[in-house]
Structure 1
Amino acid sequence: MSQSRDNSMKNTDKWRNKYLDLIEKHEQLGQSSEQKQDQLRRALVIVSLLAEGQADSIDTPLAKLRDTL
């Protein structure tokens, strides 16, 4: 009976550790995703600033894009 309880505890620990590892990986992926989104936003702002003044027809949409970001 004691061995059965030990096996059950080991199995529970195994699944708890898997669960905790997955939570950690999920949090890391979320942080990585946020960083990538920030980089993309910055890149869009830079590109829109560089393109400004090239054509009057795109200046207003570019300004709106920057305001949105």
Structure 2
Amino acid sequence: MKITVDEDKCCGAGQCVLIAPEVFDQRDDDGIVILLDAEPGADQHALVREAAAVCPAAAITLAE
């Protein structure tokens, strides 16, 4: 799995961080997503899929 994020689309809702904190974080100043791990291990895949699915801005793209 390879993850890409579009910072321009991100609205800073933080759902991704709540669901997969080992993969996503947020900038302190504006809450925009920070991708911590673009190719997470298999143990994180289900959480990453959920994070992408609930992102209100559709800023997370997955390539399986």
Give the TM-score, by structure 1 length. Answer: 0.27
Higher normalized contact order (CA 8 Å, seq sep 6+, divided by chain length): 2
Give the TM-score, by structure 2 length. Answer: 0.29
Higher helix residue share: 1
Higher strand residue share: 2
Which structure has the greater CA radius of gyration?
1
